[in-house]
């Protein structure tokens, strides 16, 4: 059985720990900027999308699903109409 490595702390915990180490010194703002820049750089390397793009794609997916449902219902109605006329689509 493989041993899982410990899960890294959330970035907010890391920032809080750094701020505690730095305290109220004059470099706190500089360290905070550096940590945020580092975090942003790391996130840019990941294959992630912005919240806005995610929400936009979610809406596109909802519309697509609704359209697929409409087309399935239309296909069922047409299939039933053909069956009622005694003609199957395979003939």
Domain spans in the chain, listed from the N-terminal domain onward: 10-46, 49-86
Rg (CA), the chain: 28
The predicted pLDDT at position 62 comes to 97
Q: Is the pLDDT of residue 80 over 80?
A: yes
Polymer length of the chain: 91
- Position with higher pLDDT, 13 vs 63: 63
Which CA distances in Å does 55 have to 6, 45, 62, 77, 78?
32, 21, 11, 33, 35
Count Cα atoms within 13 angstroms, Cβ side, for 16: 5
- This prediction has a pTM of 0.47
Are 55 and 35 within 8 A, CB to CB? no
């Amino acid at each position: 059985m493989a041993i899982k490595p410990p899960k890294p702390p959330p970035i907010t915990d890391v920032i809080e720990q750094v701020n505690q180490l730095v305290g109220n010194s004059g470099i706190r703002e500089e360290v905070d900027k550096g940590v945020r820049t580092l975090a942003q750089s790391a996130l840019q390397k990941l294959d992630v999308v912005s919240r806005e793009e995610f929400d936009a794609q979610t809406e596109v997916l909802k519309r697509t699903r609704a359209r697929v449902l409409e087309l399935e219902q239309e296909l069922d109605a047409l299939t039933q109409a053909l069956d009622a006329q005694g003609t199957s689509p395979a003939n």
